[in-house]
Structure 1
Amino acid sequence: MTLELLLKEYETALGSQQWKNVEPFFHNDACVTFANGTFKGKAELRDIFEQNFLSIQDEHYSITNLHWAYQAETSAVALYEFHWEGVIDGERASGGGRGTSVLVNEDNRWWIVSEHLGPFADG
C-alpha cells in the first residue's frame, strides 16, 4: 500500500467514527497530541478518540494539502491540513488546523507512530 493510500484510508476510517476502524492504523506505542493533551499507547488513544467521536455527531473529516516532508524505506513524515464539521450539542460546528504524522514501516506495513494536530498559523 502506498503512503498516500494509507492516509486516504485513515481519513475514511476517521469518518466512520468507530475506533475499531481507526485502531489498525496506529502502532502499539503511538502518541497523539491534540489541543486537549498528549495521549500515549493504544488504550489512551482509544479513550480520546471515542470521546471525540461521541462529542461530534455526524462528523465529516478531511485531509488536504498533503506534503511528504520525508520518505524512506522505514519512516515517513506527512504534513497536511485537516478539516472537520459536524454537530456538537445540537449545533453545527466546524474547525481544522495543521497536522503532522510520523509513520514507521515495521513488520512489512506502515503504522502511524505519532500524530500532532494543532491550529492554523496566524497570518
Structure 2
Amino acid sequence: MDVLKEYIKATNSHNFEEIKKLLHPNAVYFFTDKTCKTHSEIQSYFENAWEVVKNENYEAHDVQWLFISDKSLTCTYTYFYEGYVNNQYTSGRGRATNVFVKESDQWLLIHEHLSPLPE
C-alpha cells in the first residue's frame, strides 16, 4: 500500500513535519521503552532517535496487510534500521504494527507499535 511507503519515506526524511502530515490527531505510538500519546511526544522521540542514530535508514520488510477496508488499514512488518552511533555502524530489526484510518480522503497513521523480535 502506498501509504506505508509514504510513511517510510517521511521517516527517512528526518524531518518530523513530513511525518506529521501523515499522523492522525489522536495518534498513539508504543515504543519498546515509551508510549507517546501526543504529536509533541512523538516528535521528541523521533528527533532523539535521529540524534542518537546518525544518517539512519529505516525500512519495512515482509509487510503483511492484515485488514483492508475503505476506512482502515492494518499491517505488520519487520522493521530494519541502520546508521551510525558514536561513529560506529549499527543496524537492527524488530516487529512493527501500523494502523491507518481514512479521514477526508487521506490515510493517516493512528497507531504504531514497535517491539524487539522474539528470541
Q: Which interval holds the TM-score relative to the shorter structure?
A: over 0.9
Structure 2 CA distance for aligned equivalents of residues 27 and 51 of structure 1: 21
SS at match of 2:8: helix
Match of 1:86 in 2: 83
2:14 aligned with 1:23: no
Contact kept, 8 Å, 1:18 with 1:53, in 2: the verdict is no
**Mapping of 1:58-97 within 5 angstroms?**
58-97=55-94
Match of 1:53 in 2: 50
The alpha carbon displacement at 1:121 in A equals 2.2
Contact kept, 8 Å, 1:97 with 1:119, in 2: the verdict is yes
Corresponding letter in the other structure for 1:68: W
Corresponding letter in the other structure for 1:72: S
The superposition leaves residues 37-81 of structure 1 with CA deviations (integer Å, 9 ceiling, x where unpaired) of: 110021111111111111110111100111110011111111111
**Structure 1: gaps (5+ residues):** none
Structure 2 CA distance for aligned equivalents of residues 60 and 97 of structure 1: 14
Tell me the percent identity. Answer: 29
2:16 aligned with 1:36: no
Count of residue pairs brought into register by the alignment: 119
Match of 1:100 in 2: 97
Contact kept, 8 Å, 1:32 with 1:115, in 2: the verdict is yes
**Structure 2: gaps (5+ residues):** none
State the TM-score, normalized to the length of structure 2: 0.95
Which one of the candidate residues 98, 101, 106 is aligned to 1:109? 106
Runs (4+) off by over 3 Å: none
Over the aligned positions, Cα root-mean-square deviation in angstroms equals 1.0
